[in-house]
Structure 1
Amino acid sequence: MSVSRSELLRWQFDLTWSLFDHHLAAPAPEDFLWEPAALCWTVRPDGTPDWADTEPEPVPVPTIAWLTWHIGWWWSVALDHANRRTPREREEITWPGEDSAIAWLRGLREEWLVVLERLTDDDLDVSSGYPWGEEAGLTFAHTVAWVNSELMKNVSEIGQLRLLRSARPKASG
């Protein structure tokens, strides 16, 4: 059986999304802003995420809220590039809150599926500067593979945070 590169990338995306869908099924609103460590990145009440242009050392532990914003940010910009729109700046993309975050991410998935459905192997060979810049000399196939990898990484981080939160000792009343 022969599988095209675009079919393989779509399969990988679907596999990654199925893992994410598992974690999106049951978060409680209080899970999003739970701070797992003293040094933590989260989002502010206005939806603005913590950020540093140079990654700090040590790296702050992100909250699920921050991670869902992060996914929404890079995925929105990837969609801008894929659809030949002017890419939004990071500061333009705010977190919609715990009541809307999952719907936001599911909506981005639907938009990304449209991109994946129209992709041919020739489309994958087109030059793409996202996320590394034009000077990297990479293709849209690299962008799609990066989206899959970045989503998989962020999904595992969210899953780990959910596990840690659920494993905490319960406060006695």
Structure 2
Amino acid sequence: MGTGRLDLLLDQFDWAREKAQVRLTGLGDEEYLWEPVPGCWSIRPRGEATTPRAYGPGDWVLDLGAPDIPAGEYAEVARQAAAGMTVAKIADDWSVSVERVEQVLDHTGPPEPDRTAVTTIAWRLGHLHSGFAGGWEWTFGERRRDPRQMVDFTPSAALALDRFWAEVDRWRDSVATVTEEQLDTVGFSQYPYGSDPDDPFVDVLCGTNLEFIHHMAEIALLRDLWQARRPSCP
């Protein structure tokens, strides 16, 4: 185990990946698509999408709602403003109006808890897959393809996992080649949905690890709830 910044980030990612792969063993199609409450976001046949920005290149698309700044990101918006980003640039980053950014910056006191849709295992895996595919394309690839058109979402849990782990491993292998200078390079990643072009790459890697860990923890809980949804037969 190394002690450099990249070593520590890779060790953290590897540890999380190992645990996640164990937790996802045996995932079946019914559980993968299970909607524990009404109004879930998931993957759906294109003609059955329930959200205004559902996306994907194939017959199945990933639910996505109208753009907004969730309450959990108010502090990040404040940091962006403090770092010198204009309100217009922040609005562009979040795909919201200037007025919405100003509302967030003017907010005082603790933010109200976010009200977000419950998402299925299929949605969480698809969301992560799209992020890793787009992150690789806009960091190590041609920086050309739209991340939201790169993943062919599927109702097959086994196929989705095979494709997902292949994408995760490609990302990890490429990250392992990054130099110290590149870690500190602002805009080393040009991923178009978010603040990557304005951040040092080490910050992007920290965020990617956090995204992977927290969504995998949510998937683990959904698997537990699936198992506990009805009493076991004696």
Tell me the TM-score range normalised by the shorter chain: 0.7 to 0.9
Cα distance 1:4–1:88, how it changes in 2: closer, same or farther (>3 A)? same
Deviation for aligned residue 1:53: 2.9
Cα distance 1:140–1:87, how it changes in 2: closer, same or farther (>3 A)? farther
Scaled by the length of structure 1, the TM-score of the pair is 0.87
- 1:68-147 matches, within 5 Å, as 68-85=125-142, 86-97=144-155, 98-128=157-187, 129-130=190-191, 131-134=194-197, 137-147=198-208
Distance in 2 between residues matched to 1:50 and 1:100, nearest whole Å:
19
Deviation for aligned residue 1:153: 0.9
Rg larger in 1 or in 2?
Answer: 2
CA contact under 8 A between 2:196 and 2:204: conserved in structure 1? no
Are positions 1:53 and 2:66 aligned together? yes
Are positions 1:24 and 2:85 aligned together? no
Structure number with greater CO (CA < 8 Å, separation at least 6) is 1
CA contact under 8 A between 1:69 and 1:94: conserved in structure 2? no
Q: Which runs of 5+ in 2 are unaligned?
A: 46-58, 71-113
Aligned residues: 170
Counterpart in the other structure of 1:7: 7
Deviation for aligned residue 1:154: 0.8
Deviation for aligned residue 1:92: 4.5
CA contact under 8 A between 1:19 and 1:155: conserved in structure 2? no
Letter aligned with residue 195 of structure 2: W
Distance in 2 between residues matched to 1:117 and 1:12, nearest whole Å:
13
Scaled by the length of structure 2, the TM-score of the pair is 0.66
Deviation for aligned residue 1:59: 1.2
CA contact under 8 A between 1:4 and 1:121: conserved in structure 2? no
Distance in 2 between residues matched to 1:2 and 1:44, nearest whole Å:
43
Deviation for aligned residue 1:117: 2.0
Are positions 1:153 and 2:166 aligned together? no
Q: CA RMSD in A?
A: 2.2
Give a deviation string over 1:118-156, Cα, whole Å, max 9, x none: 11222201112443153xx31111111111000001101
Give a deviation string over 1:67-90, Cα, whole Å, max 9, x none: 111011111111112214224241
Sequence identity percentage: 25
Deviation for aligned residue 1:94: 3.4
Cα distance 1:52–1:2, how it changes in 2: closer, same or farther (>3 A)? closer
Distance in 2 between residues matched to 1:31 and 1:126, nearest whole Å:
41
Q: Detail structure 1 runs of 4+ shifted over 4 Å in the superposition.
A: none
Deviation for aligned residue 1:167: 0.6
Q: Secondary structure at the match of 1:44?
A: strand
Q: Which runs of 5+ in 1 are unaligned?
A: none
Deviation for aligned residue 1:60: 1.1
Letter aligned with residue 90 of structure 1: R
